[in-house]
Amino acid sequence: MRKILIIESQGELRAAHMALLSHEGYEIIVTDGSTAALELIRKQYPDLILCALELSGGDNFELLQYLQHQPDLLSIPIVLLTTIRNELRWRQSVSLGADDCLIVPFSDRDLLDAITIRLRKQDALTTRYNTLMRHTAERLNRLSRYDSLTELPNYQLLKQRLEQAMRRASKGKQQVALLTLSLDRLRQVNNTLGYAAGDMLLTAAAQRLTGILPRSTAVARLTGNQFAIVVPAPKSRDTIIEMVSDIFTSLGHSFSLPGQQVFMTASIGIALFPEDSEDISVLLRQADAALDWAKVQKSHSYRFYRPDLPVVSGDELQIETWLRYALERDEFEVWYQPKYSLSQGRIVGAEALIRWQHPETGYISPGKFIPLSEETGLIVPIGDWVLKTVCSQTAKWLHSGQPVVAIAVNLSSVQLNQADLAQRIQTILTDTHLPPEHLELEVTETALMQDIEPAIALLHDLKDLGVRIAIDDFGTGYASLSYLQKLPIDILKIDTSFVRNIHENATNQSILRHVIAMAHELDLKVIAEGIETEIEMHTLKGFGCDLIQGYWVGTPMDATEFAQRL
Ligand code: C2E
Ligand code: MG
Ligand code: MG
C-alpha cells in the first residue's frame, strides 16, 4: 500500500483529502506543522508528500530546503496545495524541489491525477535505477569472476567451484579431481600468426572443452595458455583417464584460423582431493607439478601427481621473483670459510660461499635459493658471477703478498652440464690474471654420479686448465671408491655427517681411517668439513687427515676479515 503524508492544518479540507485518499486505497499519515512533518518523514518514509503549508509563510520553504539536503529523502515527490495564485512563489517552491502545485479550488480528480502521475514517474525511475544497478552489479560480478576472452570462469570462481565440490565430496566420502591443462603450442601461434589468432584459438579450445565435458565439471581459464578443470566425484582413476582422452581427442582435431589450419597439443596434470591434499592452493600446485612432468613427455600426455614430484611453494615463487633481480641489484656477496692445514698448522685457503642479503627479508640461505636457481637455470649467471668475483679477489690477495694457496668455488650440476664450462672458466682466469693452480673447483659426488661418463670427460677438460678439483660432500652419494681412480681429482672432501662426534662413533672412525688411507694411496689430499670442536680436530689429525674446515677454524667471513685471518 502506498503511503502519503498530508501536511495540512486541521479542518474540513484536510478531512476531505484524508477521506478521498484512504478511499482510493492509500495509507495516510497526517500532521499540521513542518517540524512534526520532518520527524514523520524520517520515521515513516512516505511515498509522496502532500503539503498544504501556506506558500506565504516560511514553513513551506524551510521544509523543502531541509529535504533538498537529505539525499535519501530527496526522491520523495512533493505536491503543494495552495490558495495563493502567485507564480513567483510557485516557481520558488519548484526550484526548491516541489514537483507539482494545485491551486484551490481543485477537483478530487485533479488531486488524484496529480498524485498518480507523480507516483508513476517515481516508480518508473525506481525501476530504471534498479535495472541499471543490477546490470552494473552483474557486469562487475562477471568481470571479477569470468575471463573476458573465453568467458570461462577465472581463478577466483574456480576456487569457489573447487571448494564446493570438495565440501560435497567429503560428505559423501568421494574424491574430486583437479586437472590443469596447458596448450603446448600457443606461443608459436602467437608469434607466427599474431595475437588475434592466438585469441581465436584459445576461445575455440575453451568451447571444445566445455562442449565435451559433462555439465557437472567446471572449466576455468587460469592464465595465458593454462586451463583448469574440476571433476566432482569421479568414480575411479579410469573415469578421469577416459575424460582426459576425450579432451585430447577433441583438441587434437585441427583448428581453422584465418588462412591457416593449426593443430594443437595439450598436456594435463592431475591432483586428487583428498588423497593428495585437502588444501586448494596446494592441490593447484600439485596439479601444476604433475603438469610440468607431463610436459616433458611426448605431446598429449597426462600425469597424476606423485608425492616425489617437486611442488613449488608460495615462498619459492616469491624468492624466484627476487632471485631474477638479485644479480642486477648487486645483492650477492661472496664469503670465505678458512681451510686449515693440520700439518702446517695454518690457514692455507678458503671455500667461497655465496651470501644473499635481500633488502626486504634479510639473509636468505644458499640451501633455499641454490636449488631454486638450479631449477630456473639462474645458477649459470650466478655461478659465473661467483667465479669472477673469487678469481679477481684471489688475484688481488696474491698480488698483495697474502699466503693464500687456493680458494675453492662450488659448481652446481647444472653448470657441469654447460658444454662451454671449461672455456668460460679459462676466460675468467685470463681476464682476472689468476694462475689456475690457485683455483679449486668443488663438485659434489651426487652431481658427478648423475651422468658419469660426460662428467669424467668434463673433469679432464677442467683439469687441463690447471685448476684443482675436489669431490664435495664425499660419502653422501653413491660414488664407489673404485670410481675415484678414474676421476682426475686432487681432493676428497669428507662430508660433515661422518665427522660429527667422530670420537664417539667407532663405525665412522673405521670408515674415515680407510677412506683417508686409500685416498692417500691414490695421491689425493683429504679435507674434512664441518669440524666444530677441538676433539673432532684432534681425532682427524690422528687419522692423518690433511686439512679441515669448519666453525672450529672459522665460520664463513667477508673478504676483509678473511684477509686479516690469513
Ligand atoms: P657445501 O659446499 O658443503 O658448503 C659447506 C656448508 O657447510 C656451508 O653452508 C657452510 O657454511 C657450512 N658449514 C661450514 N662449517 C660448518 C660447521 O662447522 N658446522 C656446520 N653445521 N656447518 C658448517 P652454506 O654456506 O649454507 O652453503 C650450503 C651449500 O650451498 C654449500 O654446501 C653448497 O653446496 C651450496 N653453495 C654455497 N655457495 C655456493 C656457490 O657459490 N655456488 C654453488 N653452486 N653452490 C653454493
Ligand atoms: Mg662445498
Ligand atoms: Mg660440502
Residue type, 190: N
Return d(Cα 181, Cα 178) in angstroms, integer: 10
pLDDT of residue 422: 95
Find how far residue 280's CA is from the centre of its chain.
13
Task: Tell me the mean pLDDT in the region 270-289.
Answer: 93
Higher pLDDT, 467 or 418: 467
CA of 104 from ligand 3 middle (Å) equals: 104
Give the separation between CA 293 and CA 268, rounded to whole angstroms: 9
Q: Please tell me the predicted confidence (pLDDT) of residue 57.
A: 65
291 & 374 share domain: no
| Residues linked to residue 442 through DSSP beta bridges, in sequence order | 410, 470
CATH assignment of the domain containing 121: 3.40.50.2300
Give the C-alpha separation, 28 to 22, whole Å.
7
> Are 101 and 179 members of one domain?
no
**Can you tell me the mean pLDDT for 292-307?**
85
The answer as to whether 468 is a domain residue is: yes
Q: Residue 346: what pLDDT? A: 94
- For residue 249, the one-letter residue type is T
Q: Which of 65, 93, 128 is the last residue of a domain?
A: 128
Q: How far apart are CA 372 and CA 548, in angstroms?
A: 29
Output 317 or 497, whichever has higher pLDDT.
497
Average pLDDT over residues 64-71: 86
Q: Are residues 71 and 168 in the same domain?
A: no
Last residue of a domain, one of 266, 283, 306: 306
Q: Which residue has the higher pLDDT, 557 or 86?
A: 557
Alpha-carbon distance values, 218 to 89, 154, 163 (Å): 65, 11, 12
- Render 46-97 in DSSP notation, one character per residue: -SEEEE---TTSSHHHHHHHHHHT-TTTTTS-EEEEES---HHHHHHHHHTT
Is residue 62 predicted with pLDDT exceeding 90? no
What is the pLDDT at residue 266?
92
How is residue 480 written as a grid cell? 664407489
Cα of 525 from ligand 2 centre, angstroms: 15
Ligand 1 neighbourhood includes 472 CB (under 6 angstroms): yes
Nearest atom in ligand 1 to 379's CA = 44
Quick check: CB of 211 below 6 Å from ligand 1? no
- In angstroms, the CA 433 to CA 420 distance is 20
Q: How do strand 3-7 and strand 218-223 relate by DSSP bridges?
A: unpaired
Q: Which ligand is nearest to the CA of 339?
A: 1
Q: Are 227 and 294 members of one domain?
A: yes
Looking at the structure, do residues 249 and 352 belong to the same domain, yes or no? no
Q: Is residue 452's pLDDT more than 80?
A: no
Write b or e for each residue in 327-340: b if 16 or more Cβ atoms lie within 10 A of its Cβ, otherwise e.
eeeebbebbbbbbb
Q: Report, as an integer, the average pLDDT of 434-453.
A: 87
Which ligand has an atom closest to residue 549 CA? 1
* Average pLDDT of the segment spanning 352-369: 88
Domain boundary among 306, 329, 356: 306
d(CA 208, CA 511): 63
CA angle 50, 55, 58 (to 5 degrees): 105
Residue 144 in domain? no
Residues 352 and 493 in one domain: yes
**What CATH number has the domain bearing residue 452?**
3.20.20.450
Cell numbers 641489484 label which residue?
A: 329
Domain extent, residue 200, equals 155-306
- Give the whole-angstrom CA distance, residue 466 versus residue 472: 19
Structural domain count of the chain: 3
| 272 phi, psi to nearest 5 deg | -115, 135
Name the residues around ion ligand 3, CB cutoff 5 A. Answer: 472-473
Residue 180 cell numbers, joined:
590443469
The whole-number pLDDT of residue 138 equals 83
Q: Is the torsion defined by CA of 346, 348, 353, 359 positive or negative?
A: positive
Residues 6+ apart with CB under 8 A from 379: 370, 373, 412, 414, 415
Q: Residue 427: which of 469, 458, 392 has the closest Cα? A: 392
Contact in structure between 342 and 547 (CB atoms under 8 Å): yes
* CATH number, domain with residue 190: 3.30.70.270
Q: Are 335 and 558 in contact (CB under 8 A)?
A: yes
pLDDT band at 97 (very low <50, low <70, confident <90, very high): confident
Alpha-carbon distances of 549 from 47, 198, 391, 515, rounded to whole Å: 89, 57, 20, 18
- The secondary element (H helix, E strand) that includes residue 459 is helix 452-464
pLDDT at 478: 58
CB 4 within 8 A of CB 115: yes
pLDDT 10s digits, 467-520 = 999 999 887 765 566 677 788 999 999 999 889 888 888 888 998 898 899 899
| 353 CA to centre of ligand 1 in angstroms | 6
**Ligand 1 atom with least separation from CA of 366:** 30
**Grid coordinates belonging to 431:** 681476464
Is 147 within a domain?
Answer: no
Cell numbers describing residue 127: 525501476
pLDDT on residue 424? 95
474 is a domain residue: yes
Nearest-CA residue for ligand 1 atom 42 is: 410
Same domain, 434 and 374: yes
Same domain flag for 302 and 321: no
The pLDDT score that the predictor gives to residue 74 is 86
Work out the pLDDT band at 59, boundaries 50, 70, 90.
confident
State the pLDDT at residue 378. 87
Residue 98 has a CB neighbour count (10 Å cut-off) of 22
> Does the beta carbon of 353 lie inside 6 Å of ligand 1?
yes
Percent pLDDT > 70 in the chain is 97
**Same domain (yes/no): 483, 457:** yes
- If asked whether residues 298 and 331 sit together in one domain, one would say no
Q: What is the value of pTM for the model shown?
A: 0.55
User: What is the C-alpha to C-alpha distance for residues 488 and 485, in angstroms, rounded to an integer?
Assistant: 8
Residue 307 Cα to chain centre, angstroms: 21
Residue 136 lies in a domain: no
The answer on 345 and 242 residing in a single domain is: no
Question: Does residue 58 lie in a domain region?
Answer: yes
Average pLDDT, stretch 20-32?
Answer: 94
Q: Are residues 275 and 391 in the same domain?
A: no
Does any domain span residue 76?
yes
Dump pLDDT digits (tens) for 107-128: 999 999 999 999 999 899 889 9
Q: What is the DSSP string of 14-54?
A: HHHHHHHHHHTT-EEEEESSHHHHHHHHHHH--SEEEE---
Distance (Å) of CA 242 to CA 45, 218, 239, 267, 287: 62, 17, 5, 15, 18
149 assigned to some structural domain: no
